Chain A
């Protein structure tokens, strides 16, 4: 993997991280990604939208450094290249909590692994739990929580280090709609108050339009960026935005883009 410092951003706000011509072939020969170019701009809420199997999750794992590209590279902005550990939060599709310990210890994990002392960690863990509205649940075990609450713990854990970049891999796909809408709103609030950059993988047009400042639509076989859409609607967004004609129009445009991407990536 190349790890080149970037000097001048090409356009808009400066890039935090960029994928340059990234390709990923799995040992079984599957070409998951090919020629993928993507700029993640500092402070934005970027969604990766695409059909299942288009390599969205693989791209996210490559950004996280959990997977190495077989071609191309990941370029980090100079200021963040030196502090990779703890500077990336990751939220999986499942809450992925340690079932054998309490909510508090689960959220504390990233700090513990980064060697933060227990008394300093306590404050930050409590703040993170407060942020997701679970400060009264710190001594509870994960299995005693509902699915939505578990996901909140997972988000609190990802944000406890106040990372520069938050990567989310279809985090709300398994939740019911009421819970999902609530978490959407809370996520936007946290994103705005923390100033974190978010890359959010989803296959839901509606979710991506509601949340994102920008959407990268991906096509499959092999996975690549098909087109990018800016969602210019102002934040904070709420129930009014969800029912507005502007939202409906944006969803239609995004749906059409996704339709195009799916046609481009259809089985021959």
Chain B
């Protein structure tokens, strides 16, 4: 690679970080300017600096809520990952299991979780209901992607395994699972974000009746009290939590696939 080309690539990398930061700064500046110019009241739209201030001032309260929401999200995600994965493997091993259960997996997926949550809250303690909601929304992408991955095995490789008399367990372990890995990881990336969505949706459905106090609950509570700066602060934390989950899973994806899969290869060939 010529020095010129590598310099261009470096410039590209700097821009990828710098441009979003610049956009962020512009939006914040416009926001602050608009609040100042129209003299907007803080209970309608607080200034960015007030949001930041609230975040620091309310940190003891918000951090506790953040932790609760994150724990629910992670629990929901892990259960969804395990559930979706195991179910997909069972589907692959037996067509009859798939015929029996797949329609119900789809039904769980297409029914909006926000509509299921109130019903779950009738029967389950709030933390459990929130966890179940996180699980419901997150397990399907894992199931669907893993199922697809297990089916997208190179047919010639499958023939080769058959030629050498490989047992079904060997085929699963040495052929299907590695072949499915990129799809499984893709499913997990979607599931990570969705389990946060599920947890938040359930917390909102639980509303003020909820005993637990996740971030979404704090948002609802702050809304009732017209504490708009705290709503923004809590929202900001949810947003950061979502980003961290997304990039953590993207990192796992990269580390697992960088040696062999097209999706994770570095630019140079």
Contacts and interface: CB of A to CB of B under 8 A. Distances in A.
Interface stretch (B13-21, B43-51, B161-169, B242-250): B161-169
B90 interface: no
Contact of A143 (B159, B161, B170, B260): B260
A206 B165 CA distance: 35
A99 B156 CA distance: 13
A66 B163 contact: yes
Q: Secondary structure of the A side of the interface? A: loop
B9 interface: no
A114 B164 contact: yes
A226 B146 CA distance: 47
Given A66-B159, A113-B170, A100 B164 contact: no
Interface in B233-269: 259-261, 265
A101 B181 CA distance: 13
Closest CB pairs A-B (n = 4): A113-B164, A96-B156, A85-B165, A100-B178
B163 A64 contact: yes
Interface in B207-243: none
A191 to B, nearest CB: 20
A233 interface: no
Q: Secondary structure of the B side of the interface? A: helix
Interface residues of A, number: 23
A100 B163 contact: no
Given A85-B165, A100-B260, A113-B165, 14 more contacts: A61-B159, A65-B163, A66-B159, A66-B162, A85-B163, A88-B163, A90-B159, A92-B159, A92-B160, A96-B160, A98-B178, A100-B181, A109-B164, A143-B265
A254 B78 CA distance: 64
Contacts of B162: 66
A55 interface: no
Contacts of B179: 100
20 contacts: A64-B159, A66-B162, A85-B163, A86-B164, A88-B163, A90-B160, A90-B163, A92-B159, A92-B160, A98-B157, A99-B260, A100-B179, A100-B261, A109-B174, A113-B161, A113-B165, A113-B170, A114-B164, A141-B260, A142-B260
Interface in A54-83: 61, 64-66
Contacts of A162: none
A142 B265 CA distance: 13
B125 to A, nearest CB: 43
A94 interface: yes
Contacts of A110: 164
Contacts of B174: 109, 112-113
Interface of B: 154, 156-157, 159-166, 170, 174-175, 178-179, 181, 259-261, 265
A101 B178 contact: yes
A3 to B, nearest CB: 16
A172 to B, nearest CB: 16
A201 to B, nearest CB: 14
Contacts of A92: 156, 159-160
B159 A99 contact: no
Contacts of B178: 98, 100-101
B157 A96 contact: yes
Nearest to B178: A100
Contacts of A109: 160, 164, 174
Interface string A108-145: 01101110000000000000000000000000011100
A94 B164 contact: no
Most B CB within 10 A of own CB, among A85, A86, A100, A110: A100
A96 B164 CA distance: 15
Nearest to A86: B164
